[in-house]
Structure 1
Amino acid sequence: MSRAQSSQARAAPIPKLKKSWLVQAIETRWYASPGWLYGLLPLEFLFRFISILRKGYLNRRRWHSTLPVIIVGNISVGGTGKTPVLIALIKHLQAAGFHPGVISRGYGRSFGKLCVVSPQSRASEVGDEPLEIVNQTACPVVVSSSRVEAAQYLQQHQLCTVIVADDGLQHYRLGRNIEIAVVDGEAGFGNGHCLPVGPLREPVSRLASVHYVLASGRVAAYPSAYLFDVQPKWLVNVKTGAKESLQFLRALRSPIAVAGIGKPDKLFSTLKCVLFDKGGGTLECYGFADHHVFSLKDFEFAGNRPVIMTAKDAVKCVAFAQKNWWYLSVEAKLSDEFLQVLLTDIKQAAI
């Protein structure tokens, strides 16, 4: 890439955030010094106290499945790469001869009633992540406001041989054989505080009790963590499902990136890296709140320009997608060492 191209690419606009100023201010302090959020320390102490009471209460009412249960979750708010990890894990289990089934709360859906997810389901009814999981793996996925109810459904209907719980680390009523915590290797644990002063749902000390910690990036954010990478694979047309190589990205004229995920910058930085590697270019970026329910009105600013989004966002836009809307397909690369020890533990749990 020439010096001129590199300069042009790096001059890409700063992401335009579709979040309230208060949310942006809080998130900034979460990943820096708490600053004015120190005033909320009494609420953090209350949050921790209530969490301890809740954990003790739910542990006494814990339900255990006859099937092995794997929890894939995190201790922090926002995107850690959990969904790509969960999808990669399911595919490895399928390749190893298991028949995994997934349970999820289905965050953001319009009601909490139990529902079996299918490719024809609507994200508003089942949640964006469960629908993405079904589209990527074709495994049975059940959503419910009660993860125990969802697990019981999978077990009673003999839909799987191992249950994978999406984002269930803090849902202690569900018994589990294996806990996997996913950590953002770049953001780490923010300022180290629990909500609302920091981004943590539980203290970092919680990781000492899980079976495995997976950290994205080149440097582990936790001493005993296994590293993983999330790599871009394809550009997929939101409307037709047609696939194009990443090189197709540089052929798009004035593309716009849109993301309604926990950390929109993850998509933006990945796309910019692809652009830089393929000859540079500018990219206009718009970040929305996590699990944002998109409508056609949200894209009025795009006009006829091509739009690139995540797979999680794409499932909410299929009904009104334009022919030049694409999503970036990504894949989590898990370490062979982790997969070997995990499969051994699952086989022992299944005995």
Structure 2
Amino acid sequence: MNLDDFFRQVWKDRNLTALGFWPLSLLYSTIVEIRRFGYSCGLFAVEHFQFPIIVIGNLTVGGTGKTPLTIWAVEHLKNAGYSPGVISRGYGRRISETHMVGEDSTPDVAGDEPLVIWRRTNVPVAVARQRSDAIRLLIKEKDCNIFISDDGLQHLSIESDLKIMLIDGEERFGNGFCLPAGPLRESSRHANGVDLKLVNGTGQKNEYSMECKLTEAVNLLNNSKTRTLESFANETVSAIAGIRNPKRFFKLLAEQGIQSKNYSFPDHHDFDRDELSAILTTDDVVLMTEKDAVKCAHFASPNWWCVKLEATPEAAFQNAFSDRVSAIVRSN
């Protein structure tokens, strides 16, 4: 059991192990609340930009579907006539400089999720330690008129116009504790401060629902080569997932009739050739997430494929999103 799996088990309920971490959670949550208070009362500066800023994030650690929702939001805005740009901190990258994601970008420089977003949408994406620096870079070099802050719900130094909170439909808020005793980055009461709540799964009262499903497989060595997922049903397949909830990916593959030998890795895992060569052969048919594929493409074998994940929010959310964006643009 890796560390991610360990904490996912601990965070399911208020067990003895979770309670043992509670003093650290109290310290952590106190620091978070002091920081929030500093921004709310003006002790810390909040920067305002002339263009609308949409924040997509969550209260818990790990994957709730932020990246596929960001991709959906970008395409929705493009279809509505806007010129969106995406800003991110670029979790997992190894440099601190502000960077415009492009053809030569690697996960070490851009982070895995920003690279996926750029490749899927082809809109300007900038990463920076301070998100305001990413916005300034996009304003300076690109013709953007609206911005999406990916995983930006806890970044308070930029004034935002629309806050969208994603919730895991299976795990929700876990045991309700803040890190490290639970999965919360901040108290769940801050959910009341967002504009739209969207559940990856079935929403509850005052929440919208979203479906995430796998669509097609793209070859890692030749992205013009694609296959339907159904075409893998009669093959021996190895599935790799270095994401917050690998079991969800494996379950989605199984729902497509794919029987796979599954390999789980920690979220944002930094894959290398030797590691995967120890469990795979060059002839193996391999399916992996897009986030993992950007880190494996440079040493991939011909039968390695990444599987696209598409988010589809319910119609009511799509209408609410469009209405909110239109109102924000008019007010700006």
Tell me the TM-score normalised to structure 1 length: 0.89
CA distance in 2, matches of 1:35, 1:119: 49
- Read off the aligned partner of 2:14 and give its amino acid letter: S
The answer to whether the Cα contact below 8 Å between 1:65 and 1:152 also exists between their aligned partners in 2 is no
**1:122 partner letter:** T
1:28-39 aligned at under 5 Å gives the runs 28-39=9-20
Aligned to 1:200: 184
Counterpart position of 1:270: 252
Q: Is the 8 A contact 2:238 2:260 kept in 1?
A: yes
**Aligned length, in residue pairs:** 324
1:249 equivalent among 232, 257, 268: 232
Alpha-carbon distance in 1 for matches of 2:169, 2:135: 30
Q: CA deviation at 1:27?
A: 2.2
Partner of 2:280: 302
Once the two structures are superposed, residues 118-158 of structure 1 have per-residue CA deviations (whole angstroms, 9 ceiling, x without a partner) of: 13311111000000001100000000010111112223345
Corresponding residue number in structure 2 for 1:70: 54
1:331 and 2:322 aligned: no
**What amino acid is the match of 2:261?**
E
Say if 2:114 is the partner of 1:130.
yes
Q: Distance in 1 between matches of 2:97 and 2:104?
A: 18
Runs of 4 or more, structure 1, over 6 Å off, are none
Residue type of the alignment partner of 1:32:
D
Unaligned runs of 5+ in 1: 1-16, 276-280
1:42 aligns with 2:23: yes
Whole-Å separation in 2 of the counterparts to 1:122 and 1:41: 38
The CA deviation string for residues 13-64 of structure 1, in whole angstroms up to 9 with x for no partner, is: xxxx6x24xx433221112333222022111111111001112224421001
Give the Cα–Cα distance (whole angstroms) in 1 for the partners of residues 20 and 255 of structure 2: 39
Distance 2:5 2:227 in 1: 34
Partner Cα distance (2:200, 2:193) in 1: 20
- Superposed displacement of residue 182, structure 1: 0.6
Structure 1 letter corresponding to 2:26: F
Tell me how far apart the structure 1 counterparts of residues 6 and 311 of structure 2 sit (CA, whole Å).
31
State the distance in 1 between where 2:39 and 2:272 align: 38
The one of 284, 287, 312 aligned to 2:264: 287
Q: 1:349 to 1:282 in 2, by over 3 A?
A: closer
SS in 2 for 1:309: strand
Partner of 1:13: none
Question: In structure 2, the residue corresponding to 1:89 is in which secondary structure?
Answer: helix
Code of the residue aligned with 2:131 in structure 1: it is R
Contact 1:69 1:163 in 2 (8 A): yes
Cα deviation, residue 99, structure 1:
0.7
- Is residue 343 of structure 1 aligned with residue 322 of structure 2? yes
- The reply on whether 1:227 has 2:204 as its aligned counterpart is no
CA distance in 1, matches of 2:154, 2:274: 36
2:219 counterpart of 1:237: yes
Tell me if structure 1 keeps the 8 A contact 2:233–2:259: no
C-alpha RMSD of the superposition = 1.4
CA distance in 1, matches of 2:293, 2:90: 16
Matched AA of 2:110: V
Q: Which residue of 1 aligns with 2:167?
A: 183
Moved more, 155-164 or 327-336: 155-164
Q: Are residues 1:312 and 2:258 paired?
A: no
For CA contacts below 8 A with separation 6 or more, give which structure has more relative contact order. 1
Structure 2: any 5+ residue segments left out of the alignment?
Answer: none
Q: Find the aligned partners of 1:66 and 1:146 in 2 and give their Cα distance.
A: 18
